[in-house]
Structure 1
């Protein structure tokens, strides 16, 4: 679980044996209750609002659009099935943070970070309310999350974050010393912790997506799955609308909301701001009562360590442990392909680190192993914008923290399309853009050097080399 010491030693046989029966499929999607997809679009459609993308971002946009105006005619198209990509593959951490953590937000938007925290916690409250309102059975638990220190320098970093939270008026952030954190979850690698008691919920990510899809359909959203968007264009002379072409038809819409995550944006000028990277996770078999007692994980918080190459882990409703993160895999050219979803070298590393974190669980086996693409941007949190004279809006770049923040992004897109100046659209975070990534091969080389430098920092007490300091100064800190 702790930082990899330069080059990891070969995994123990027990770690490799634990992977022997793992299914190469996302645990969350491997569910007999998975809903049947809606039919593909055949022919032409017309609507007020077209939402492109059936992950959280698109589903929240369609749902909130109907809540704001039940008469608005909304169509949603999805290239595969709703929730099949990042929304059905993540760890199920639904965080209040809109900025990928207090530190990242305070460094980039110090004057409005307190407001961003207020809006983020309100957004999480609204997600909880929607789950109840639409009876979405997604194992929603407001357990909070503990960030854990696994190296001495990280202890002081957690203290500093706790002080920053107090200064910003963020309630219920509690610093835990070594004994206190191990009383919550017992690992010999834990040196301290910071428990955000109300700012994070645990949930079943695929069931959230499926529940949102059902809620959208119940409100009258017309949903077409297996319907990729191939081209976006103005509807033609004399028309104020947009047209999106699909394999078997087209949709003409007055407005379009783009929620395409790591996939190539239909607005081409946005593409340099996004680069897809691959994240991977393992899921254990259900633990016995004795095994759970051995690690003392009673209150079911989510956990994450605070290294540059970090792990996230949590307990599911059926008593399994999800263990993910650490490696960030970038593919040359930023391509998103199904064959990139699996990376056995990362699975080996994750398995080894799991048993280093929890030696009490020797003999536990992994039932599932999977990966997926994350829409990374250089500021680690979402950015927003409009195109085609305000008829098209987009929200992208959630960088792995989109389970909660996508709902906020949906509100921003609808505000932009409606031409409204709101407490959201007034934010510098919303009005500004991240720095774009350079073209290949500079992008590939830069990410490689940065990854190497981050590993070195983890090994050297958090000390950042000249490359990382230069990236920090340029706003490309890769410190999240």
Structure 2
């Protein structure tokens, strides 16, 4: 049997019996289902989507105006989508990293960096003040070089961080391997302040419970099928209506204003499909490690880890001693299809399992208990798209790509600022004022994305050298990433 065949066989055995469900959501402490909205409901603000963006929108709305009547309409369950399927990395960056921020918004990146730091600090403070038990850890992150060409990239990132006052520690091969024992590591960049780790489902569940204590009404199984204007009497509007109606299959909510936070899922605002690429990200969760297995990998600080390639992995330990391992494959399906049937892809999960054991060969024989995937709402700019509709009665914030857990709180404030119509500092940033470049429609979209994906893989295989296509995308601040 060849080495590749042996690795594939080992990956297949490790995946045998893995539940096809997100680990974070597949636990007995999950809250009971909430009722769907039925009949006519009234509110000051209706939020479409119960992920982190929607939850933070309701949270910030009640902070700004205690007693404000807020309704959340979630199509499935709280934390069903990307909110409950991610790795639990909460990053300060609003610009998909300093390198990307300096390339796209050079005149504003310092202010955006400071805004991101304030946002993360306020997010942590809010969680702790509310007493939400979500295994929040201030452990930071280490970015890892696993190819020689990536070592120079870490050095450049360290120097760029210093320019903005970020204290990043460059680790040699021996230093990083002494910290986390993997033969694949050639260097590392340790950031102790820019990232915290959370249990994302517990955070979402805790936020929803806190919001209900504040009087927010949270409805599940309430997919919004349409938005329309209403006049002061509750009837159909004439273009200058007094509010907006969010319609579902079993009822509707009439509100003065609405925020759409539907991420990669179908939105009642069809225009959002012009900006969103639903990319399926794949994740594995191991069984709990034994004491001997934990000792064999070190990792005493339990920080988040990610490698430095264009196609990258992210991984972290959990409170009960497991390892979450995800990333690498960012899969787009023709037409931007989003469906539960796409959440199990044997080739992607087997590839992840092989990569896991290449990273930690000393854990051979460890099994995975969960395997899952889900769509990320990526944009061509790697950051969210913001805007308004219905004459300013509706605001939207979608497209949080791979650093959206922290940025979702900033986006909530942006959406509320847009509804208020007040020129806050947030609304002056180009990241807010200018939307990402639209994604071409099908049938052009799929081949463009697939060619870009192939080009990225080729770049990683050739010492990071980017072809003409990728260099052209870089020039205009465009790209493809999970």
TM-score (norm 2): 0.96
Distance 2:478 2:210 in 1: 38
Partner of 2:233: none
Deviates more, 1:266-275 or 1:363-372: 266-275
Deviates more, 1:287-296 or 1:9-18: 9-18
User: Are 2:173 and 1:178 equivalent residues in the alignment?
Assistant: yes
Partner of 1:350: 352
CA contact under 8 A between 1:11 and 1:348: conserved in structure 2?
no
Distance 1:199 1:438 in 2: 34
Deviates more, 1:174-183 or 1:363-372: 174-183
Partner of 2:67: 71
Distance 1:385 1:431 in 2: 8
CA contact under 8 A between 1:282 and 1:368: conserved in structure 2?
yes
Report the CA distance between 1:383 and its aligned residue: 2.1
Report the CA distance between 1:233 and its aligned residue: 1.1
Counting only pairs closer than 5 Å after superposition, residues 382-401 of structure 1 correspond to structure 2 as 382-401=384-403
CA contact under 8 A between 2:401 and 2:481: conserved in structure 1?
no
Deviations 1:225-280 (A, max 9, x none): 11000001111136321111111111111000011000123222222111101001
Report the CA distance between 1:9 and its aligned residue: 6.2
Distance 1:200 1:473 in 2: 28
Gaps of 5+ in 1: 1-7
Partner of 2:194: 199
CA contact under 8 A between 2:382 and 2:479: conserved in structure 1?
no
Partner of 2:227: 232
Partner of 2:326: 324
Partner of 1:256: 258
Gaps of 5+ in 2: 231-236
Deviations 1:181-235 (A, max 9, x none): 1122111110111111011011101000000100110101011111000001111
Report the CA distance between 1:357 and its aligned residue: 0.4
Distance 1:298 1:226 in 2: 42
CA contact under 8 A between 2:40 and 2:253: conserved in structure 1?
yes
Partner of 1:81: 77
Report the CA distance between 1:478 and its aligned residue: 3.0
User: Would you say how many aligned residue pairs link Structure 1 and Structure 2?
Assistant: 473
1:160 to 140, 156, 160: 156
Report the CA distance between 1:474 and its aligned residue: 3.3
2:31 to 17, 31, 35: 35
Q: 1:9 to 1:309 in 2, by over 3 A?
A: farther
Distance 2:308 2:137 in 1: 23
Tell me the SS of whatever aligns to 1:29.
coil
Counting only pairs closer than 5 Å after superposition, residues 25-64 of structure 1 correspond to structure 2 as 25-64=21-60
Q: 1:290 to 1:436 in 2, by over 3 A?
A: same
Distance 1:323 1:126 in 2: 28
Distance 1:56 1:341 in 2: 20
Distance 1:111 1:268 in 2: 33
CA contact under 8 A between 1:262 and 1:373: conserved in structure 2?
yes
2:7 to 2, 7, 11: 11
Distance 1:333 1:414 in 2: 31
Tell me the SS of whatever aligns to 1:66.
helix
Deviations 1:121-159 (A, max 9, x none): 111111111111111110000100001000111100111
Tell me the SS of whatever aligns to 2:391.
coil
CA contact under 8 A between 2:246 and 2:252: conserved in structure 1?
yes
Distance 2:217 2:414 in 1: 22
2:380 to 378, 381, 389: 378
Counting only pairs closer than 5 Å after superposition, residues 41-440 of structure 1 correspond to structure 2 as 41-170=37-166, 172-235=167-230, 236-237=237-238, 239-440=241-442
Once superposed, what is the RMSD of the aligned Cα atoms? 1.4
Tell me the SS of whatever aligns to 2:75.
coil
CA contact under 8 A between 2:357 and 2:364: conserved in structure 1?
yes
Tell me the SS of whatever aligns to 2:330.
coil
Report the CA distance between 1:330 and its aligned residue: 0.6
Partner of 1:20: 16
CA contact under 8 A between 1:471 and 1:478: conserved in structure 2?
no
CA contact under 8 A between 2:168 and 2:191: conserved in structure 1?
yes
